[in-house]
Amino acid sequence: MRDPETENTFRFLEEALTLGIQGMEQGEGGPFGAVIVQNGSIIARGWNRVLATHDPTAHAEIVALRHAAEHLGRDRLEDCILYASCEPCPMCMAALYWAQIRKVFFSADRHDAAAAGFADEFLYQELVRPPAERYIPFIHVPLPKSQEPFRRFLTRPMPPLYGPQIPSSSR
């Protein structure tokens, strides 16, 4: 007996792989693709478009997130699942947390990407280094007014805070 959830996972991952290959062969960017699924249907597709757009953030997952958010008219995608041709890089992983995506499936991993010349593993290692010791130094320069934007933000009537929610327990 076939498992429909497993078959859908394979189908969605194969779609992501196909998008990545097509985008790469068209010269738009690296060999990465992604689809976002809601209620069993693809609502957004993305492939790496860094070269086509001259935008270093135009990774497949980011492109798909932007399309899904626009399609749904909201920034929270907690009822959606992302399927990616490769394990998301740290930038994309952070964006997926900001979007509160429910789950991520990926085919190749960061080591496969590194073997093809992509810096994903290096970036994961950089995240745990002290900011000033990173390859690109991040220098903290606190100004007297550095807290002012946050103070003002906290005094405004706002909808629920967007972005990643700190889990009270593991999922």
Q: Catalytic amino acids? A: 61
Query: At residue 128, what are phi and psi to the nearest 5 degrees?
Result: -95, -5
Exposed e or buried b for every residue in 60-83, given b needs 16+ CB within 10 A? bbbbbbbbbbeebeeebbeebbbb
49 contacts 23 by C-beta, under 8 angstroms: yes
* SS3 category, 132: helix
Give the tokens for residue 21. 């290959």
| Bridge-based pairing state of the strands 80-86 and 103-108 | parallel
Collect all residues with Cβ–Cβ distance below 8 Å to 15 and sequence separation of at least 6.
Answer: 33, 35, 42, 45, 83
Element (H, E) at 123: helix 120-127
